Protein backbone atom coordinates (compact mmCIF):
# COMPACT_ATOMS: atom_id res chain seq x y z
CA UNK A 1 0.00 0.00 0.00
CA UNK A 2 1.49 3.35 -1.01
CA UNK A 3 1.69 6.51 1.04
CA UNK A 4 -0.97 8.19 -1.06
CA UNK A 5 -3.45 5.34 -0.77
CA UNK A 6 -3.66 5.71 2.96
CA UNK A 7 -4.88 9.36 2.72
CA UNK A 8 -2.30 10.62 5.17
CA UNK A 9 -0.71 12.85 2.53
CA UNK A 10 -3.94 14.70 1.86
CA UNK A 11 -4.60 15.15 5.55
CA UNK A 12 -1.12 16.55 6.14
CA UNK A 13 -1.40 18.87 3.17
CA UNK A 14 -4.84 20.08 4.27
CA UNK A 15 -3.48 21.13 7.61
CA UNK A 16 -0.86 23.36 6.05
CA UNK A 17 -1.49 27.12 5.58
CA UNK A 18 -2.45 27.56 1.95
CA UNK A 19 -2.65 31.20 0.78
CA UNK A 20 -4.68 30.13 -2.25
CA UNK A 21 -7.36 28.47 -0.17
CA UNK A 22 -7.37 30.94 2.74
CA UNK A 23 -9.84 33.79 2.59
CA UNK A 24 -8.64 37.21 1.49
CA UNK A 25 -7.71 39.75 4.20
CA UNK A 26 -10.77 41.68 5.35
CA UNK A 27 -13.25 38.92 4.31
CA UNK A 28 -14.93 36.56 6.72
CA UNK A 29 -14.24 32.85 6.47
CA UNK A 30 -16.67 30.80 4.44
CA UNK A 31 -18.75 28.66 6.72
CA UNK A 32 -20.26 25.57 5.31
CA UNK A 33 -23.97 25.95 4.79
CA UNK A 34 -24.00 29.80 5.04
CA UNK A 35 -25.29 31.80 2.09
CA UNK A 36 -22.82 33.90 0.09
CA UNK A 37 -23.62 37.54 -0.76
CA UNK A 38 -24.58 38.17 -4.33
CA UNK A 39 -21.79 39.39 -6.53
CA UNK A 40 -19.05 38.49 -4.04
CA UNK A 41 -16.45 36.13 -5.46
CA UNK A 42 -15.74 33.19 -3.27
CA UNK A 43 -12.28 32.46 -1.98
CA UNK A 44 -9.91 30.34 -3.86
CA UNK A 45 -10.78 26.72 -3.20
CA UNK A 46 -14.52 27.54 -2.79
CA UNK A 47 -17.19 25.53 -4.59
CA UNK A 48 -16.97 27.96 -7.50
CA UNK A 49 -13.39 26.89 -8.06
CA UNK A 50 -12.91 23.45 -6.57
CA UNK A 51 -16.24 21.66 -6.72
CA UNK A 52 -18.41 20.64 -3.82
CA UNK A 53 -17.42 21.98 -0.42
CA UNK A 54 -15.77 19.75 2.08
CA UNK A 55 -17.18 19.89 5.53
CA UNK A 56 -14.87 19.99 8.45
CA UNK A 57 -15.63 18.12 11.57
CA UNK A 58 -17.11 20.21 14.36
CA UNK A 59 -15.85 19.44 17.78
CA UNK A 60 -17.96 19.63 20.85
CA UNK A 61 -15.83 22.41 22.36
CA UNK A 62 -14.67 24.80 19.56
CA UNK A 63 -15.17 26.29 16.09
CA UNK A 64 -13.86 24.87 12.84
CA UNK A 65 -10.17 24.81 12.20
CA UNK A 66 -8.68 28.08 10.98
CA UNK A 67 -6.44 26.51 8.29
CA UNK A 68 -3.54 28.57 9.61
CA UNK A 69 -4.76 31.85 8.07
CA UNK A 70 -3.01 34.98 9.42
CA UNK A 71 -6.37 36.80 9.58
CA UNK A 72 -7.96 34.17 11.79
CA UNK A 73 -4.87 34.00 13.93
CA UNK A 74 -5.02 37.74 14.55
CA UNK A 75 -8.71 37.48 15.50
CA UNK A 76 -8.11 34.60 17.84
CA UNK A 77 -5.14 36.31 19.48
CA UNK A 78 -7.13 39.53 19.96
CA UNK A 79 -9.90 37.75 21.87
CA UNK A 80 -9.42 37.47 25.60
CA UNK A 81 -8.74 33.93 26.81
CA UNK A 82 -11.67 32.21 28.46
CA UNK A 83 -11.39 29.44 31.01
CA UNK A 84 -12.20 26.02 29.69
CA UNK A 85 -15.31 24.54 31.29
CA UNK A 86 -14.82 21.35 33.17
CA UNK A 87 -16.49 18.28 31.86
CA UNK A 88 -19.34 16.95 34.03
CA UNK A 89 -18.38 14.05 36.26
CA UNK A 90 -19.60 10.57 35.47
CA UNK A 91 -22.01 8.63 37.50
CA UNK A 92 -19.19 7.14 39.47
CA UNK A 93 -17.95 10.69 40.33
CA UNK A 94 -14.70 10.30 38.42
CA UNK A 95 -13.25 12.52 35.71
CA UNK A 96 -13.44 11.19 32.13
CA UNK A 97 -10.27 9.69 30.79
CA UNK A 98 -7.98 11.96 28.84
CA UNK A 99 -8.58 12.24 25.17
CA UNK A 100 -6.41 9.93 23.15
CA UNK A 101 -4.57 11.34 20.17
CA UNK A 102 -6.23 10.70 16.89
CA UNK A 103 -4.72 7.97 14.74
CA UNK A 104 -2.82 8.85 11.63
CA UNK A 105 -5.13 9.67 8.79
CA UNK A 106 -7.90 11.21 10.90
CA UNK A 107 -8.34 14.93 11.48
CA UNK A 108 -7.10 16.42 14.70
CA UNK A 109 -9.55 16.84 17.51
CA UNK A 110 -10.90 20.32 17.77
CA UNK A 111 -10.18 20.61 21.49
CA UNK A 112 -6.46 20.59 20.72
CA UNK A 113 -6.73 23.75 18.60
CA UNK A 114 -5.74 27.07 20.22
CA UNK A 115 -8.34 29.74 20.85
CA UNK A 116 -11.42 30.17 22.98
CA UNK A 117 -13.85 27.28 23.47
CA UNK A 118 -17.06 27.63 21.54
CA UNK A 119 -20.25 25.73 21.92
CA UNK A 120 -21.12 23.49 19.00
CA UNK A 121 -23.61 24.90 16.58
CA UNK A 122 -26.90 23.04 16.40
CA UNK A 123 -27.10 20.63 13.55
CA UNK A 124 -30.56 21.72 12.47
CA UNK A 125 -29.83 25.55 12.35
CA UNK A 126 -27.27 26.92 9.90
CA UNK A 127 -24.69 29.41 11.22
CA UNK A 128 -25.53 33.07 10.56
CA UNK A 129 -23.64 34.59 7.68
CA UNK A 130 -21.38 37.57 8.53
CA UNK A 131 -22.05 40.89 6.89
CA UNK A 132 -20.11 41.31 3.70
CA UNK A 133 -17.47 44.00 3.60
CA UNK A 134 -17.20 46.21 0.60
CA UNK A 135 -13.83 45.67 -0.98
CA UNK A 136 -12.46 47.52 -3.98
CA UNK A 137 -12.23 45.87 -7.28
CA UNK A 138 -8.84 44.41 -8.18
CA UNK A 139 -8.24 47.16 -10.76
CA UNK A 140 -9.36 50.04 -8.48
CA UNK A 141 -7.34 51.89 -5.88
CA UNK A 142 -8.72 52.24 -2.40
CA UNK A 143 -9.35 55.87 -1.41
CA UNK A 144 -9.13 57.12 2.12
CA UNK A 145 -12.01 59.29 3.31
CA UNK A 146 -11.27 63.00 3.60
CA UNK A 147 -11.25 64.41 7.12
CA UNK A 148 -13.09 67.61 7.94
CA UNK A 149 -12.26 70.03 10.72
CA UNK A 150 -15.06 68.59 12.86
CA UNK A 151 -13.86 65.03 12.33
CA UNK A 152 -10.19 65.88 12.72
CA UNK A 153 -8.87 64.25 15.88
CA UNK A 154 -7.02 66.22 18.50
CA UNK A 155 -3.37 65.84 19.41
CA UNK A 156 -4.10 62.95 21.77
CA UNK A 157 -6.66 61.17 19.55
CA UNK A 158 -5.80 58.06 17.55
CA UNK A 159 -7.35 56.85 14.34
CA UNK A 160 -9.15 53.52 14.26
CA UNK A 161 -7.64 51.01 11.89
CA UNK A 162 -9.43 50.66 8.57
CA UNK A 163 -10.55 47.08 7.86
CA UNK A 164 -8.22 45.45 5.45
CA UNK A 165 -5.30 47.81 6.25
CA UNK A 166 -2.19 46.68 8.14
CA UNK A 167 -2.22 47.41 11.84
CA UNK A 168 -0.01 50.04 13.49
CA UNK A 169 3.63 49.25 13.64
CA UNK A 170 5.84 49.32 16.69
CA UNK A 171 6.17 52.50 18.72
CA UNK A 172 8.48 55.04 17.15
CA UNK A 173 8.58 53.28 13.76
CA UNK A 174 7.85 55.13 10.54
CA UNK A 175 4.34 54.34 9.28
CA UNK A 176 5.36 54.52 5.65
CA UNK A 177 3.85 56.58 2.85
CA UNK A 178 0.25 56.10 3.99
CA UNK A 179 1.08 57.31 7.51
CA UNK A 180 2.85 60.36 6.14
CA UNK A 181 -0.14 61.17 3.96
CA UNK A 182 -2.47 60.84 6.94
CA UNK A 183 -0.21 63.07 8.99
CA UNK A 184 -0.13 65.64 6.17
CA UNK A 185 -3.92 65.52 5.88
CA UNK A 186 -4.33 66.01 9.67
CA UNK A 187 -1.76 68.83 9.71
CA UNK A 188 -3.58 70.91 7.08
CA UNK A 189 -0.93 70.51 4.37
CA UNK A 190 -3.07 68.41 1.99
CA UNK A 191 -3.95 70.18 -1.21
CA UNK A 192 -7.54 68.98 -1.04
CA UNK A 193 -8.17 71.18 2.01
CA UNK A 194 -9.17 74.78 1.37
CA UNK A 195 -6.70 77.54 2.10
CA UNK A 196 -9.40 79.65 3.74
CA UNK A 197 -10.47 76.93 6.17
CA UNK A 198 -10.55 77.60 9.92
CA UNK A 199 -7.42 75.54 10.35
CA UNK A 200 -5.64 77.89 7.93
CA UNK A 201 -6.86 80.87 9.95
CA UNK A 202 -5.65 79.16 13.13
CA UNK A 203 -2.29 78.57 11.46
CA UNK A 204 -2.12 82.26 10.51
CA UNK A 205 -2.92 83.27 14.08
CA UNK A 206 -0.22 80.92 15.32
CA UNK A 207 2.21 82.48 12.84
CA UNK A 208 1.26 85.94 14.12
CA UNK A 209 1.86 84.91 17.72
CA UNK A 210 5.17 83.39 16.66
CA UNK A 211 6.11 86.71 15.03
CA UNK A 212 5.23 88.60 18.21
CA UNK A 213 7.30 86.16 20.20
CA UNK A 214 10.16 86.68 17.76
CA UNK A 215 9.89 90.44 18.28
CA UNK A 216 10.24 89.95 22.02
CA UNK A 217 13.36 87.90 21.52
CA UNK A 218 16.70 89.74 21.64
CA UNK A 219 17.79 91.12 18.29
CA UNK A 220 20.39 89.31 16.27
CA UNK A 221 23.76 91.11 16.41
CA UNK A 222 24.31 93.27 13.34
CA UNK A 223 27.34 93.08 11.15
CA UNK A 224 29.92 95.84 11.16
CA UNK A 225 28.55 97.49 8.03
CA UNK A 226 24.98 97.30 9.27
CA UNK A 227 26.02 98.69 12.65
CA UNK A 228 27.73 101.65 10.96
CA UNK A 229 24.69 102.34 8.81
CA UNK A 230 22.40 102.15 11.84
CA UNK A 231 24.66 104.51 13.82
CA UNK A 232 24.78 106.94 10.91
CA UNK A 233 21.00 106.87 10.53
CA UNK A 234 20.57 107.44 14.27
CA UNK A 235 22.68 110.62 14.19
CA UNK A 236 20.84 113.91 13.96
CA UNK A 237 21.36 116.25 11.04
CA UNK A 238 23.20 119.58 11.58
CA UNK A 239 19.93 121.49 11.26
CA UNK A 240 18.36 119.42 14.01
CA UNK A 241 21.42 119.93 16.25
CA UNK A 242 21.43 123.70 15.64
CA UNK A 243 17.70 124.01 16.28
CA UNK A 244 18.09 122.00 19.45
CA UNK A 245 20.93 124.24 20.67
CA UNK A 246 18.96 127.39 19.85
CA UNK A 247 15.93 126.02 21.65
CA UNK A 248 17.98 125.21 24.73
CA UNK A 249 19.50 128.71 24.66
CA UNK A 250 16.07 130.30 24.45
CA UNK A 251 14.82 128.17 27.32
CA UNK A 252 17.87 129.08 29.42
CA UNK A 253 17.47 132.75 28.55
CA UNK A 254 13.80 132.64 29.46
CA UNK A 255 14.58 131.08 32.82
CA UNK A 256 17.28 133.70 33.51
CA UNK A 257 14.93 136.53 32.58
CA UNK A 258 12.20 135.13 34.77
CA UNK A 259 14.60 134.92 37.67
CA UNK A 260 15.81 138.49 37.00
CA UNK A 261 12.27 139.86 36.90
CA UNK A 262 11.45 138.05 40.12
CA UNK A 263 14.56 139.55 41.70
CA UNK A 264 13.78 143.07 40.53
CA UNK A 265 10.07 143.17 41.28
CA UNK A 266 9.97 141.18 44.49
CA UNK A 267 13.29 140.50 46.12
CA UNK A 268 14.66 144.06 45.79
CA UNK A 269 11.54 145.42 47.44
CA UNK A 270 11.89 142.95 50.29
CA UNK A 271 15.50 143.95 50.94
CA UNK A 272 14.86 147.70 50.48
CA UNK A 273 11.94 147.69 52.90
CA UNK A 274 14.03 145.90 55.49
CA UNK A 275 16.90 148.39 55.12
CA UNK A 276 14.60 151.43 55.15
CA UNK A 277 12.80 150.28 58.27
CA UNK A 278 16.12 149.66 59.98
CA UNK A 279 17.32 153.19 59.09
CA UNK A 280 14.07 154.77 60.34
CA UNK A 281 14.29 152.88 63.63
CA UNK A 282 17.87 153.97 64.12
CA UNK A 283 16.95 157.63 63.56
CA UNK A 284 14.04 157.47 65.99
CA UNK A 285 16.27 155.82 68.58
CA UNK A 286 18.87 158.57 68.21
CA UNK A 287 16.25 161.28 68.51
CA UNK A 288 14.66 159.75 71.55
CA UNK A 289 18.02 159.31 73.26
CA UNK A 290 19.11 162.91 72.48
CA UNK A 291 22.30 161.83 70.76
CA UNK A 292 21.49 163.79 67.55
CA UNK A 293 22.64 167.35 66.88
CA UNK A 294 19.72 169.51 65.73
CA UNK A 295 21.97 172.43 64.80
CA UNK A 296 23.74 170.66 61.96
CA UNK A 297 23.51 172.51 58.67
CA UNK A 298 23.15 171.18 55.15
CA UNK A 299 26.23 169.47 53.80
CA UNK A 300 27.35 168.30 57.21
CA UNK A 301 25.80 164.85 56.76
CA UNK A 302 27.89 162.21 55.02
CA UNK A 303 26.53 160.64 51.78
CA UNK A 304 24.00 158.00 52.65
CA UNK A 305 23.53 159.20 56.18
CA UNK A 306 19.89 159.57 57.23
CA UNK A 307 18.76 162.78 58.88
CA UNK A 308 14.91 162.85 58.48
CA UNK A 309 11.80 160.73 57.86
CA UNK A 310 9.12 161.52 55.22
CA UNK A 311 5.42 160.58 55.59
CA UNK A 312 2.82 160.65 52.81
CA UNK A 313 -0.43 159.73 54.59
CA UNK A 314 -2.49 159.37 51.39
CA UNK A 315 -0.08 156.79 49.97
CA UNK A 316 0.80 155.19 53.34
CA UNK A 317 4.48 155.92 52.80
CA UNK A 318 7.13 156.12 55.54
CA UNK A 319 10.76 156.27 54.38
CA UNK A 320 14.00 157.74 55.74
CA UNK A 321 15.68 160.66 53.98
CA UNK A 322 19.41 160.39 53.43
CA UNK A 323 22.00 162.79 52.14
CA UNK A 324 22.66 162.56 48.41
CA UNK A 325 20.95 160.79 45.50
CA UNK A 326 23.43 157.98 45.01
CA UNK A 327 21.76 154.97 43.41
CA UNK A 328 23.73 152.31 45.28
CA UNK A 329 24.14 154.09 48.65
CA UNK A 330 20.71 155.69 48.98
CA UNK A 331 18.03 154.98 46.38
CA UNK A 332 18.57 151.20 46.05
CA UNK A 333 18.28 150.88 49.84
CA UNK A 334 14.67 152.09 49.75
CA UNK A 335 15.51 155.57 51.07
CA UNK A 336 14.67 159.01 49.73
CA UNK A 337 17.70 161.04 48.58
CA UNK A 338 18.24 164.74 49.12
CA UNK A 339 19.76 166.74 46.24
CA UNK A 340 23.07 167.95 47.70
CA UNK A 341 25.82 169.05 45.37
CA UNK A 342 25.57 168.15 41.68
CA UNK A 343 23.56 168.95 39.74
CA UNK A 344 22.00 171.42 42.21
CA UNK A 345 22.50 172.00 45.90
CA UNK A 346 19.02 172.43 47.45
CA UNK A 347 17.91 173.74 50.85
CA UNK A 348 17.13 171.77 54.02
CA UNK A 349 13.65 171.72 55.66
CA UNK A 350 14.69 174.03 58.50
CA UNK A 351 16.11 176.73 56.14
CA UNK A 352 14.16 180.02 56.15
CA UNK A 353 13.92 180.08 52.33
CA UNK A 354 14.70 177.61 49.62
CA UNK A 355 13.52 174.52 47.73
CA UNK A 356 13.84 171.19 49.57
CA UNK A 357 14.17 168.77 46.57
CA UNK A 358 14.28 164.97 46.96
CA UNK A 359 14.18 161.87 44.69
CA UNK A 360 13.24 158.18 45.05
CA UNK A 361 12.51 155.08 42.99
CA UNK A 362 9.10 154.66 41.45
CA UNK A 363 9.56 150.93 40.79
CA UNK A 364 11.68 148.28 42.56
CA UNK A 365 13.98 148.79 45.53
CA UNK A 366 11.21 149.74 47.92
CA UNK A 367 9.55 152.10 45.34
CA UNK A 368 8.56 154.88 47.83
CA UNK A 369 7.37 157.28 45.07
CA UNK A 370 5.48 154.76 42.95
CA UNK A 371 2.09 156.42 43.32
CA UNK A 372 2.99 160.11 43.68
CA UNK A 373 1.15 160.68 40.40
CA UNK A 374 -2.03 160.19 42.45
CA UNK A 375 -1.30 163.26 44.59
CA UNK A 376 -3.51 166.26 43.98
CA UNK A 377 -3.73 169.78 45.27
CA UNK A 378 -4.32 169.83 49.03
CA UNK A 379 -2.66 166.47 49.87
CA UNK A 380 -0.14 166.56 52.75
CA UNK A 381 3.55 165.58 52.91
CA UNK A 382 5.20 165.54 56.38
CA UNK A 383 8.97 165.63 57.05
CA UNK A 384 10.10 164.69 60.59
CA UNK A 385 13.51 165.73 61.93
CA UNK A 386 15.10 165.29 65.33
CA UNK A 387 13.20 168.30 66.77
CA UNK A 388 10.40 169.35 64.37
CA UNK A 389 7.58 168.18 62.09
CA UNK A 390 7.39 170.10 58.77
CA UNK A 391 4.06 169.82 56.93
CA UNK A 392 3.87 170.66 53.18
CA UNK A 393 0.71 170.98 51.04
CA UNK A 394 0.74 169.85 47.40
CA UNK A 395 0.07 172.73 44.97
CA UNK A 396 0.95 171.52 41.45
CA UNK A 397 2.68 168.80 39.42
CA UNK A 398 4.47 168.23 36.12
CA UNK A 399 3.53 164.85 34.57
CA UNK A 400 6.70 164.46 32.50
CA UNK A 401 9.91 166.32 31.78
CA UNK A 402 13.34 165.33 30.46
CA UNK A 403 16.01 164.31 32.97
CA UNK A 404 18.11 167.24 31.78
CA UNK A 405 15.54 169.78 33.01
CA UNK A 406 17.20 170.80 36.26
CA UNK A 407 15.24 174.04 36.51
CA UNK A 408 12.59 172.19 38.51
CA UNK A 409 15.11 172.15 41.40
CA UNK A 410 15.71 175.90 41.56
CA UNK A 411 14.65 177.95 44.63
CA UNK A 412 11.72 179.32 42.62
CA UNK A 413 11.10 176.58 40.02
CA UNK A 414 9.51 177.72 36.75
CA UNK A 415 6.16 176.13 35.95
CA UNK A 416 5.41 175.42 39.60
CA UNK A 417 3.16 178.46 40.06
CA UNK A 418 5.49 180.03 42.61
CA UNK A 419 6.39 183.64 41.92
CA UNK A 420 8.67 184.60 44.82
CA UNK A 421 11.10 182.84 47.15
CA UNK A 422 9.65 180.71 49.91
CA UNK A 423 9.92 177.38 51.68
CA UNK A 424 9.05 174.81 49.02
CA UNK A 425 9.36 171.04 48.47
CA UNK A 426 9.95 169.16 45.17
CA UNK A 427 9.39 165.40 44.70
CA UNK A 428 10.99 163.78 41.61
CA UNK A 429 10.82 160.24 40.25
CA UNK A 430 11.09 158.34 36.96
CA UNK A 431 8.27 158.00 34.44
CA UNK A 432 6.76 156.00 32.79
CA UNK A 433 6.83 153.12 35.19
CA UNK A 434 9.63 150.57 34.91
CA UNK A 435 11.63 153.04 32.81
CA UNK A 436 13.89 156.04 33.43
CA UNK A 437 13.12 157.91 30.23
CA UNK A 438 11.55 161.05 31.82
CA UNK A 439 10.85 162.55 35.21
CA UNK A 440 7.60 163.17 37.12
CA UNK A 441 7.55 166.30 39.29
CA UNK A 442 5.29 167.24 42.26
CA UNK A 443 5.55 170.63 44.08
CA UNK A 444 4.33 171.78 47.46
CA UNK A 445 4.84 174.60 49.99
CA UNK A 446 5.33 174.63 53.76
CA UNK A 447 2.06 175.16 55.63
CA UNK A 448 2.87 174.03 59.22
CA UNK A 449 5.95 173.68 61.46
CA UNK A 450 5.44 171.78 64.76
CA UNK A 451 7.90 170.76 67.44
CA UNK A 452 8.17 167.04 68.20
CA UNK A 453 7.66 167.79 71.86
CA UNK A 454 4.13 168.99 71.07
CA UNK A 455 3.15 165.74 69.44
CA UNK A 456 2.33 164.69 65.88
CA UNK A 457 0.68 167.14 63.48
CA UNK A 458 -2.94 166.78 62.39
CA UNK A 459 -1.90 165.32 59.01
CA UNK A 460 -0.42 162.26 60.74
CA UNK A 461 -3.09 161.96 63.40
CA UNK A 462 -6.07 162.28 61.08
CA UNK A 463 -4.34 160.50 58.21
Residue 199 covered by a domain: no
State the Cα–Cα distance between residues 436 and 428, nearest whole angstrom: 12
Q: Mean of the pLDDT values across residues 45-59?
A: 45
Spell out the residues 6+ positions from residue 134 whose beta carbon is closer than 8 angstroms to its own: none
Residue 401 covered by a domain: yes
Mark whether 224 is an active-site residue. Answer: no
The per-residue pLDDT for range 168-204, each reduced to its tens digit, is 444 444 557 777 777 776 655 444 444 555 555 565 6
Whether the per-residue pLDDT at 295 is higher than 50: the answer is yes
The per-residue pLDDT for range 116-146, each reduced to its tens digit, is 445 444 545 555 555 555 555 555 555 555 5
Mark whether 361 is an active-site residue. Answer: yes
Q: Mean of the pLDDT values across residues 163-167?
A: 50
The per-residue pLDDT for range 398-446, each reduced to its tens digit, is 999 999 999 999 999 999 999 999 999 999 999 999 999 999 999 999 9
Identified catalytic residue from 27, 362, 365, 430: 430
Domains in the chain, number? 2
Residue 190 covered by a domain: no
- Domain termination residue (choose one: 68, 95, 127): 127
Percent of the chain with pLDDT over 90: 39
Whether the per-residue pLDDT at 3 is higher than 50: the answer is yes
Residue 261 covered by a domain: no
Spell out the residues 6+ positions from residue 268 whose beta carbon is closer than 8 angstroms to its own: 332, 364, 365, 366
Residue 123 covered by a domain: yes
Sign of the CA dihedral 165, 167, 169, 175?
positive
Identified catalytic residue from 27, 338, 361, 450: 361
Residue 294 covered by a domain: no
Whether the per-residue pLDDT at 162 is higher than 80: the answer is no
Containing structural domain, residue 279: 270-289+302-462
Please report the pLDDT score of residue 178 as a whole number. Answer: 77
Identified catalytic residue from 27, 338, 439, 450: 439
State the Cα–Cα distance between residues 338 and 360, nearest whole angstrom: 9
Do β-strands 317-323 and 306-312 pair in parallel, antiparallel, or remain unpaired?
A: antiparallel
DSSP-derived secondary structure for 176-240: HHHHHHHHHHHTT--TTS-TTSHHHHHHHHHHHHHHHHHHHSPPPPP-HHHHHHHHHHHSPPHHH
Of 102, 127, 103, 128, nearest to 113 (Cα)? 102
CATH of the domain at 407: 2.40.260.10
Residue 441 covered by a domain: yes
Please calculate the CA angle 335-341-346 and round it to the nearest 5 degrees.
75
Mark whether 338 is an active-site residue. Answer: no
Residue 265 covered by a domain: no
pTM: 0.50
Whether the per-residue pLDDT at 17 is higher than 70: the answer is no
Amino acid sequence: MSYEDTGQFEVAVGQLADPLNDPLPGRPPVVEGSPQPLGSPGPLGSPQHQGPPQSQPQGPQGPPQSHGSPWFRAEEMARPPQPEPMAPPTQAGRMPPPTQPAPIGEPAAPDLMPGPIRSPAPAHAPAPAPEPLSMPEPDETAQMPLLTDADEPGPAATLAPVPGSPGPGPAGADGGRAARRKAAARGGGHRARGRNSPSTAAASAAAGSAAEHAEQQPAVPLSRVEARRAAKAAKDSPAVVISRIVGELFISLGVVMLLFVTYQLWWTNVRAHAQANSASNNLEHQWDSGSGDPSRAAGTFSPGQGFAIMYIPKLDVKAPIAQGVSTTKVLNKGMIGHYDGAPVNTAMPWDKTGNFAVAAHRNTHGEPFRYINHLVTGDKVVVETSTTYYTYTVTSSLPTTPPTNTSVLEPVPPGSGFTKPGRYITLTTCTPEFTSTNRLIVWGKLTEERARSKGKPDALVNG
